[in-house]
Structure 1
Amino acid sequence: MSERTIRGSGAVWRASRAAVKRRRVQTVVIGLVVFCSTATVLLALAVISAARAPFDTAFEAERGAHVNAVFDPAEASAEQLAATAHRPGVEAAAGPFDQAVVTIPTDWVGRPPGPLTLVGRPDPAAAPVDRVELLSGRWATAPGELVMATAGGSGEGNLGKSVTTNTGLKLTIVGSAADMSQSAGGWVTPEQAAALHPVGRQMLYRFADADTEQQLTASLDKATEGLPKDAVANGQSYLVLKQAFSAGADAYLPLMTVFGVLGLIVATLIVGNVVSGAVVSGYRHIGVLKSIGFTPRQVVTVYLTMVSVPAAVGTVLGTAAGWAAAYPILQTAFSGIATGTAVIAPAGWLPVATLLGVPLLVALAALLPASRARRLSAAQAISAGSAPRTGRGLKVQRWLSGTRLPRAVSLGLGQPFARPARTALTMAAIALGVVTVTVTTGVTGTLAKAMSAPDEYTHIDVLTGGFTVDKGAPRLTQEQTEAMLHAAPGADRVSVRGLVRVAVVGQPQVVFANFYGGDAMVDHSRLNVVEGRPATGLGEAEAGPAFLDQRGLKLGDKVTLVLDDRQTTVTLVGLESQGNANALTSNDATRALLTPDRHVVEYDVRLAAGADAKAYQDAVSAADPTLSTSVVTAGTAGPVVAIRTFSTTFSVLLSVVAALGVFNTLLLT
């Protein structure tokens, strides 16, 4: 028995290997279909897992705060706030910590001038809430020391550097840290914070009921019951941070999921179609195998092996390709988002899941048609050949033969009725191919329109560089630079973008504020406003959905901006198509309410029709070598190119898969 089993297994393998070599077209079709489908499914799962798991994992590891509440020191004492930690529903609490806002008047460690929110805390390593993770250096233990908050990187290169506030206070960076609660822009000792005349006191809470915003609001109300009505200046929910964390990836999720699901369905249908066709067209081969002693089970094994070999190769290559592409896609999806200590990477189990799951799916799709082989006797298989069973579609074929259609046409029209299963699978493949192209065209067109240039002109980006070792100090002032850009040959319009960091009253984190001015308060790189209107009036601002979601804001709300001991209230009047989660946009008139310095970082020059872009760049460089120029034409912006490349690649892959299914059907017919 053992000898016969070994000899039988060897015969099955030799027959399977011969079938793979002989049916090269089918082998290539199966391998390519599985390759494309595996890559798309792995990419879709990678983005989904990265958008959901990292925040929760890092947040729980740090005992993140469900609510970061800031209280008015004039309304509630430190003793009153400390007592709230023992109220019903409070699972744990940390604080109160003094919170102060200082202004940094010059560039510091790669950051522009602006306000900095500081919180006075002792070493939080063992804190019951918000265990800030120290990435480099040590915690502040003496006055004059600063632990800088960072959204990414260790910050080790900044250790030992000094920061001087507008009041002359010198702070030395002794450490760099990150926290998922985003509770501060930096940390100092409690004594240092108290000396800075704090404008708020911070309490960090973890509640027993914290699954929804309603529960968090109710829990905070219970914890602060008995305090003066205006004691709570602001409360930041961790759910808002979590939503902002995955906001960038959410823009990719629908597109990735559609491609992943379509790839999976196409793979299943096409493999089933190919294997079914292989069994039908190989009836004579099946008969020969049975006539020389192959059992029905061995015949099924031959055909399952025949499809599993290319499927395994396609799965391995598709997994490798999808895994390699997952990292750059995730970096793009989470760019501009404060990820804190969360690790942005695809889940480690994904390659294992695809390596095991896809071949299993292929085997299941192949099992049903392959099992038909075991019901055929050797004589039936040899005599049947590749013809359909008698009587299938006979009435339709007879009716078609009686029409005036050419015989070739009537025979062709009758084939779908002779093989209904194969026809259904082929139609499904065609339909999915059309759906893929339609979805891709629509989504790509919409995203590209939202991100591309608003006109067909050529634009020149002019970036201000400041002092550089090789080019020296800038030759021109801001006003002289703008006048030169207007006067250079070919200029049609010059827009100006100023950038500063401003504090938002009631928020622990400072934000970037873009102020547009010049000939027009919009340039080619500014995002489109998809709801409301552009912020062109005094005291108006616009922002992306991530900015609003992270702070619990909506259109029509007012926020107060603070810069250089000045403050002004702006109304959110426009929603941008996306935008940085830590940036808002306003105009030059509103900027003047906060600071007389325009803080220009970029000029957008729209060239006149037919102007020589290279000559304009040369003229700018000759006037001031510290200015950096680049040419941008309509539709060539980075995000637009990335979206088109990504969607086109996957559209072509899935269209090729569907086309191969149709080709295989025609070949078998």
Structure 2
Amino acid sequence: MRAALRWAHSDLRTHRGEALFLVLATAGIVASLLFATALFGYATNPWQRTFAEARGAHVWLHTTPAADTRAVARLDGVTAVAGPYRTESATVTARGTRAAVELRGTPRPPSVGRPLLTAGHWLDPAVPDGVVLESSLARALLAEPGDTLALPGTARTVTVEGVADSADPPYRPGEQPGLVWALPSAVRASGGQVVGLRLDDPADTDYAVQRAVTVLGAGVVGEVSTWQQARAAAQGENRLLGQVLGLFGLGALIAAGFAVHGAIATRIRGHLRDLSVLKAIGFTPGQVVRIFLLQHLAYALLGAVAAAALTEALGSRVPGRLGDAVGVWQGLPGHTVALSAVPTGAVLFIGLTTGLAAWRAGRVPPVPVPRPAGPAGGRLTGPARRALGLRLPAALVLGCHKAFAGRGRSLATVARLTLPLLLIVVALSAWTTLDRFHSSPERMGLPTALTVRSDGAPSPSGTRALLTRDPRVAAAYPGVEVAALVPGQTGTIALRGIGTRAEPCPRVLAEGRAARGPDEAVAGQGLLDLLHARVGDWVRMTVGDRPQILHIVGRSIEPQNAGRVVTTSLDTLRENDPGVSAAFWELRLRPGADPRRVAAALTAAGRGHLDVHPVTNPADGLSPLRAVVAGLIAVLALIGLVELLTAIGGTVREGERDVLALRAIGMSPRQITGIAVTATSCTALAAAVAAMALGLPLARRLIDAQGGSSGIGAGIAQYPAPGQLVLLGSAAVLGAAALAALPAARAARRRLADTLSAVG
């Protein structure tokens, strides 16, 4: 045991930098996996807990006021019903912030879909204008109990009595109206009613919706929302962040395992004589294997424990969503199990790769085997001899020959170094795609920057004139959005009519062509997946009691409503229903215009009659992804650094046998150093080229796959700028050269007696 500890201590002193980098890399990997676990828990559990406590409805049906909803309560599988509640669409303002809301007349706290009060109290009949705000709406309005909200265009005001959590979809400006519970007397201009269904088996949601729509009649059902949609909306970008962290964490763990495997294998080749001596003095093969295994398990365990301790102690203090996720995750039931299981799994994986490499150390014979007399790189190839004949620098030619001599060992080194560089290329692609959403939203499915809604004054023509009067507005497109029932009546989608045939709204298409003729439309990936359709198909949907048949001629990049959107011109919708009129305006701004400043100017010009807000950009909620990507790149760089140190050590150690021969033919120590530096640089260059050749297509496939699963659709992936790729490759090559220079120079200047002992 004492001899084993001495060996381990000596090896640690010799490779202190490599041990430190392994500990830091392991800590970074385990921390990223723990943050991913926290984000998954944060994305799912809070909503699930709210849904369970509130006895949330699995289906909400918005119908016309005349619909008889009593029949749905008798459907098989329906265990409870909420409502029907009268509803009114309205706009409220507070402290200069406007929000579209749905007033829901609720005489008493319902047993299904019950609001969970977080502040204030429930509605009091003695306060007829009192309301309770859903918590996400209250945050958007900065409202709290006691505040007064105005309804623009009317003389009405309402008083906030309470704030409550709900399992319903949260408020999203321009997409999802906020939920406001009010007394029935406060719902004056009733536009319909809503009824909630709680099911015995949530898996039967689609079938239950189909039967409910059949019983009520498709003509009276305006919109259907399900618990799956509410859960997806509540999870938002948290699940995507968790997926990114988990994917890169697992990739980094595999890269770290390969790096440890390569480091041990290289170290074994460099200590064959020492291992033989250990065997000769009585060490068994199992003891030799355990030396390497326990040593690297100690490194991995130290990094994993440090990551777990820091995440537990300081994770909740990380600013932004990551800190919030860790704080919520620490209060969940499975927190302790995950906190121990993730580090344990990482340590066991590194231990497995370590054991596979250390097993070779146990097979070293007790009698040293003479090294082959031939040069490490093999005989000179034809191109190398011709290059020397052209009087190219000998150090450059021999270094390139040494790196690309066709040995399997060299290829394995290139492959191990390629993996972390490949993951860095994928991370840079994710960063670039995110940046493109901010810098060029029109190329990512967001052709307009502002949405404007009017309360009816001024007139539509006057509203258009008012909007286009601002020189920063390039174009204003009238639009309308209605909920349409899909074939089979299992859910609703968004049917939009934006622009006219004379002045169409430009959209970025990933497939097909733009909609120009009658009954032509473009659809998002989420809609095509829902209807099992593709570009070129005709699709039928129902708006109220009117069927709408459209020819899908293109697939647009659609970042809103999970891609379940079909877009046509306003003229096409008017042909089917002449009563359709513009409900909002989409504004395209001139390059360089600030959407928020334009929105403020238009709001002031509208004198309280215009509701102007920026179009929601899906990248706005992914700001933590930048810090995540930066941290992952740092971890991957550490892993690449470990692999570079391993490759340098192997190159220098194997080059010791050639020092005498190179000196004998007149090469100086500087030239001998140049051979090792060139060989290492060529290895890094080959790995960088392979990483870019493999990483760019892989990044496109992964990002497009994520876009397809979220409904946005393929076609959003963006490659890093050529300058970034050149910088990455240059950093790898120059870093390899800088790291190799010092050990190669030391080996080239060793005394002849030391060199003879090394090769003897």
SS in 1 for 2:136: coil
Aligned residue among 346, 368, 390 for 2:356: 368
Within the alignment, does 1:238 sit opposite 2:231 as a pair? Answer: no
Give the whole-Å Cα distance in 2 for the aligned partners of 1:312 and 1:107. 55
Contact 2:39–2:322, Cα closer than 8 Å, also in 1 = no
Q: Determine the structure 2 residue equivalent to 1:203.
A: 196
The reply on whether 1:138 has 2:121 as its aligned counterpart is yes
- CA offsets, 1:284-330, max 9 Å, x none? 44455566676655544432343234333433555548985997685
The answer on whether the counterparts of 2:131 and 2:181 sit within 8 Å (CA) in structure 1 is: yes
| 1:144-183 equivalences in 2 (<5 Å) | 144-151=129-136, 157-160=143-146, 161-164=148-151, 168-182=155-169
Whether 1:107 and 2:107 are equivalent positions in the alignment is no
The CA deviation string for residues 328-376 of structure 1, in whole angstroms up to 9 with x for no partner, is 6857999xxxxxx999999845543333222222222212332444455
Aligned to 1:426, the other structure's residue is in SS state: helix
Deviation sequence 1:436-472 (CA, Å, 0-9, x none): 355446555555545533799xxxx9999xxxxxxxx
CA distance in 2, matches of 1:441, 1:275: 30
Shift of 1:270: 0.8
Which amino acid in structure 1 is aligned with residue 104 of structure 2?
L
Aligned counterpart in structure 2 of residue 357 of structure 1, from 321, 329, 345: 345
Partner of 1:89: 77
1:64–1:235 distance in 2 versus 1, CA, 3 Å = same
Q: Does the aligned pair in 1 maintain the 2:129–2:157 contact within 8 Å?
A: yes
1:338 equivalent in structure 2: none
Match of 1:259 among 248, 270, 273: 248
Letter of the 2:181 counterpart: W
Corresponding residue to 1:185 among 179, 183, 206: 179
SS at match of 1:151: helix
Name the CA distance, whole Å, in 1 between partners of 2:378 and 2:283.
42
Q: Structure 2 vs 1, CA of residues 305 and 641 (structure 1 numbering), >3 Å: closer, same or farther?
A: same
Whether contact under 8 Å (1:96, 1:201) holds in the other structure is: yes
1:429 is displaced (CA, Å) by 1.1
Question: What RMSD over aligned residues (CA atoms) do the two structures have, in Å?
Answer: 6.1
Q: Which residue of 1 aligns with 2:59?
A: 67
CA distance in structure 2 between the partners assigned to 1:579 and 1:61 by the alignment: 31
User: 1:17-36 alignment to 2 at 5 Å?
Assistant: 17-36=9-28
For residues 188 and 552 of structure 1, the distance between their equivalents in structure 2, rounded to whole angstroms, comes to 40
One-letter amino acid of the structure 2 residue matched with residue 31 of structure 1: V
2:420 matches 1:426: no
Q: Secondary structure at the match of 1:606?
A: coil
In 1, Cα distance between equivalents of 2:478 and 2:533: 24
Q: CA deviation at 1:53?
A: 4.8
Q: Once the two structures are superposed, what CA deviation does each residue of 1:161-190 show, in whole Å capped at 9, x if it has no partner?
A: 244475655432211122213497221235
Q: Does 1:270 align with 2:256?
A: no
Measured in 1, the distance between the counterparts of 2:602 and 2:344 equals 60
**8 Å Cα contact 2:206-2:491 kept in structure 1:** no
Q: Give the Cα–Cα distance (whole angstroms) in 1 for the partners of residues 329 and 529 of structure 2.
A: 19
Residue 473 of structure 1 corresponds to which residue in structure 2?
none
Structure 1 unmatched runs, 5+: 1-7, 335-340, 465-476, 487-492, 562-568, 608-612, 628-636
Gaps of 5+ in 2: 171-177, 386-396, 452-462, 574-578, 606-618, 655-760
1:101 offset after TM fit, Å?
Answer: 0.9
Classify 1:494/1:76 alpha carbon distance in 2 versus 1 (closer, same or farther; 3 Å).
closer
User: What SS does the corresponding residue of 1:141 show, helix, strand or coil?
Assistant: coil
Matched with 1:218 is 207
TM-score where L is the length of structure 2: 0.58
2:85 to 74, 98, 122: 98
The answer as to whether partners of 1:400 and 1:414 remain within 8 angstroms in 2 is no
Q: Is the 8 A contact 1:543 1:576 kept in 2?
A: yes
Aligned residues: 579
Contact 2:497 2:568 in 1 (8 A): yes
* Cα distance change, pair 303–166 in 1 and its aligned pair in 2 (3 A): same
Q: Which moved more, 1:173-182 or 1:400-409?
A: 400-409
The answer on whether the counterparts of 1:55 and 1:242 sit within 8 Å (CA) in structure 2 is yes
> Would you say the 8 A contact 1:144–1:171 is kept in 2?
yes
Deviations 1:628-649 (CA, angstroms, capped at 9, x unpaired): xxxxxxxxx9799987776566
Deviation for aligned residue 1:266: 0.7
Aligned-partner residue type, residue 133 of structure 2: M
Amino acid at match of 1:138: H
In the alignment, the residues of structure 1 paired with residue 583 and residue 62 of structure 2 have an alpha-carbon distance, to the nearest angstrom, of 31
Partners of 1:311 and 1:438 in 2: how far apart? Answer: 26
Q: How far off its partner does 1:430 sit?
A: 3.5
Confirm or deny: 8 A CA contact 1:156 1:176 kept in the other structure. Answer: no
- Report if the CA contact (8 A) 1:97-1:121 is conserved: no
**Structure 2 residue matching 1:203: 3-state secondary structure:** strand
Change (3 A) 1:111 1:532: farther
Q: CA deviation at 1:69?
A: 2.3
Q: Give the helix-richer structure, 1 or 2.
A: 2
Contact 2:26 2:300 in 1 (8 A): yes
